[in-house]
Amino acid sequence: MAATQKSSKKRPATTQSGPTPKKAHLTKPAKGKETVADKKRSRPVTLAVQDENYDSEEDFEGFDGGEDDMGLDVEVRADEMDVDLSNTSPKDPNASRESHKAQRAIQATRRAQKPHSNLLTSAKSIWTLVRQKNNPPSERQKHVTELIDVIRSKIKDIVLKHDASRIVQSAVKYGGQKERDEIAKELEGSYKELAQNKYSKFLVTKLIRLCPNHRASILLEFQSSVLRLLLHREASSVLADAFELYANAYERTILLRDFYGKETTLFSVTTGSDEDKERAKKGLRGVLESLEGERRKRVMGAVRENLVTIFNNPDKGAVTHAIVHRALWEYLLAVNDTPDEIEREKQRREIFESCHDVLAEMVHTKDGSRVVREFIAQGSAKDRKHIVKVLKPHVERMCTDDEAQLVLFTALDVIDDTKLTSKSLVSSITTAAPTLTTTPQGRRALFHLLVPRTRRHFTPAQIATLTETDEVRARTSKKDTSIREDEVRKAASEGLLEFVKDEGARVGRETGGSLVVAEIMLYAEGDKSVATEALLQPLTSPYPSSDPSTPHPIDLPHTSRLYKTLLQGGHFSHTTHTVTRSPSFSPSAFASAFITIVGEERTVALARGDGAFVVAELLERMIEEGSDSEKEAVKGWFKGGVISDLKGGEGKGRKVLLEKIAKLAC
């Protein structure tokens, strides 16, 4: 009964439209600006459904309970109460009221018997004022100061409790830097314990984020226990957040040092000088610079053993964290520097076999993506086949992740067995084309199938990243790059042309989607007549559109540019100031289909409206490549009143169109 009454008390009020939604806990920053608090760790692509506990700091802190939520960590049994419940009727409201009153009395008694009960009672009353949403800054700061005065010198004693932890978190969140530093100073020496507690771990993360002057000292308390903490259910997220979101280069090395083994920790002298910090930033490579022979082997062996410990416990979740991926990447770099080729291959083989089943858990971070790409580039045909098998279930989600998609691109660039990649990777990408066109990352995945590394769709930085494995590919792959690209393009063409046939008219109305449709039509291989008809059919609708909410395709600048590009047969090059024709597309065939499907009435209407540039390109195609019958037919469309209307109009492109009409008439 006690549990039932408590539950009903906490249930939020509802309306006919459903429960009242929770308010946002943090004020949203201005558009285009990102604060430190807005940063989130990259989620593994294997995480199909968002895990509510994955980033639970704000969920925990945002929990907004009433008075009964504070300190009630015990259950009240009926046999401990001063009232006899055996003869009470559940329908008797007085009995229910008396029962609840008795429970509250027992709870109050138990709470008063706990250590620091008076302190928590005082702190709670002030905390209620601190966390009010509508508090002006000056008044809130006053309450924060009062709260700090109450809990000062007692924070270590109370912070492990869920209610007190929330009170201290609010003091850190709303307090000034002075108050935050004071709390961080008082908790020195206990951060490892706090990180392992399911309540106080959020406070540790907050202090790491908001107290940069104390960050290094907090992280130093984790030294010698980093591996154990990474495998700890609560502490793992604290270290992951600190490494990926808040630590600078030197502070990351503090956490990484445990991966290098006890020998490195014992014999490395760190004075905190700038010279030591610069040396530490080199990571494992800096440690190995002064080591040779057996000492180097021992350090390398220690790194491998520590990584294997993580890989052998995939259920702990540590394998998804960027700190593990950094340590693994540093190890692979050190392996590449090993002078003995036999030893180098042995070390690479051992570490690959220890982690090849969990590679999909790594592709979402920069270092993890680079690790998997290195394994693909360096691996044998059997290794590559196994990696593709591991990645296959996650291809669609990898396409929409900036780092993970680089792994797919490297696989397509490196693996000679294009039948394998076509069946396992390319088909999954083309099948997901309707979804992928909605994001820049997804569109980039489609572009890579047709025009890999083109400057039209890939930035110089992205291209430079993809070329990192080219040197290794030259040694480990036998097939010529152009042949491999042609085979991938051919494998993707059928599915992409089918996509244009089914969705091209709709997707072509979108800004990014029109770019995808253009590349598919220009560079895919196969019969494009059906796809051409599907794209031209929307132009036969009445012009201008009678529905303002659904404009005619030609009135959409990006869609109009799509038709113009297809009539040109390629993209305009600003370097050569000419159109670079695609060998896989016939603009004259597209122009002929345009004349047949769109017809005279609609074409003339487009010319009078915003389609002058498109129609001008159509006439240019007729002039250069059209048959005599097509030229005569189109010539008859533009005469008399049409030319007068064009001369009297002020729309863009009419001057160019009149020049093409005059040229066609000659």
Lowest-confidence segment of 77-91, 305-319, 323-337, 373-387 by average pLDDT: 77-91
pLDDT attached to residue 477: 93
Percent of all residues in the chain with a pLDDT value above 70, rounded to a whole number: 84
| Per-residue model confidence (pLDDT) at position 145 | 92
**Full 3-state SS string of 598-665:** HHHHHHHHHHHCCCHHHHHHHHHHHHHHCCHHHHHHHHCCCCCHHHHHHHHCCCCCHHHHHHHHHHHH
Burial of 430 (0-12, 13-18, 19+ CB in 10 A): buried
Euclidean distance between CA atoms 456 and 474, whole angstroms: 26
Helical H runs in 341-403?
Answer: 341-355, 366-378, 381-391, 395-399
Q: Report CA-CA distances (Å) from 257 to 253, 272, 285, 370.
A: 6, 15, 12, 21
462-491 pLDDT, tens digit each: 999 999 999 999 999 999 999 999 999 999
Token code pair at residue 165 = 């932890």
Which token pair is 132?
């009010």
Which residues share a beta bridge with 570? 581
Confidence at residue 478, expressed as pLDDT on a 0 to 100 scale: 92
Calculate the CA dihedral of residues 546, 552, 554, 557 and round it to 10 degrees: 110
Q: Is residue 62 scored above 50 in pLDDT?
A: no
The predicted structure's pLDDT at residue 35: 56
Average pLDDT of span 287-297? 84
Res. 317: pLDDT tops 80: yes
The DSSP secondary structure of 116-158, one letter per residue, reads THHHHHHHHHHHHHHT-TT--HHHHHHHHHHHHHHHTT-HHHH
Closest-CA residue to 171 (of 138, 148, 202): 148
Per residue in 477-535, pLDDT (tens digit) is 999 999 999 999 999 999 999 999 999 999 999 999 999 999 999 999 999 999 999 99
| CA–CA separation, 344 and 335 (whole Å) | 6
Question: Across the chain, which distance is largest between two alpha carbons, in Å?
Answer: 109
pLDDT at 270: 54
Beta bridge partners of 18: 15
Tell me phi and psi for residue 575, to 5 degrees. Answer: -80, -50
Query: Is-contact 557 614, C-beta < 8 A?
Result: no
pLDDT in tens, 582-638: 999 999 999 999 999 999 999 999 999 899 999 999 999 999 998 999 999 998 898
Q: What percent of the chain has pLDDT over 90?
A: 63
What pLDDT, on a 0 to 100 scale, did the predictor assign at position 274?
65
pLDDT greater than 80 at residue 86: no
pLDDT above 60 (res 660)? yes
Under 8 Å CB-to-CB from 57, ≥6 apart: which residues?
202, 205, 206
Element (H, E) at 249: helix 249-256
Provide mean pLDDT across the span 87-107: 69
**Residue 571, beta-bridge partner list:** 580
Residue with tokens 């122009």: 591
SS3 call for 459:
coil
Give the pLDDT confidence score for residue 72 in this predicted structure: 35
User: Which two structure tokens, joined as six digits, stand for 662?
Assistant: 């005059």
pLDDT at residue 225 greater than cutoff 90: yes
When pLDDT is averaged across residues 56-85 and rounded to a whole number, the result is 40
Top-confidence residue, 183 or 76: 183
Instruction: Give the model's pLDDT for residue 48.
Output: 63
pLDDT the model gives residue 36: 53
Q: What is the pLDDT of residue 273?
A: 61
Query: Is pLDDT above 70 for 546?
Result: yes
**Lowest mean pLDDT segment, chosen from 52-56, 420-424, 491-495:** 52-56
Residue 49: predicted pLDDT: 53
Report pTM: 0.84
What value does the mean pLDDT take over residues 427-436?
A: 96
pLDDT of residue 112: 57
The whole-number pLDDT of residue 277 equals 65
Task: For residue 378, give the nearest of 325, 437, 326, 336 by alpha carbon.
Answer: 336
Cis peptide before 544 (omega within 30 of 0): yes
Distance, CA of 167 to CA of 152 (rounded, Å): 12
Cα-flanking dihedrals φ and ψ of residue 592, to 5°?
-65, -40
Region of poorest pLDDT, from 31-35, 164-168, 465-469, 499-503: 31-35
Contact 256, 323 (CB under 8 A): yes
Q: Which range in 125-134, 160-169, 348-357, 644-653 is most confidently predicted, on average pLDDT?
A: 348-357
Mean pLDDT of the chain: 85
- The SS3 assignment for 371 reads helix
Q: Does the pLDDT of residue 303 top 60, yes or no?
A: yes
pLDDT value at 134 more than 50: yes
pLDDT category, 94, cuts 50, 70, 90?
confident
pLDDT at 618: 95
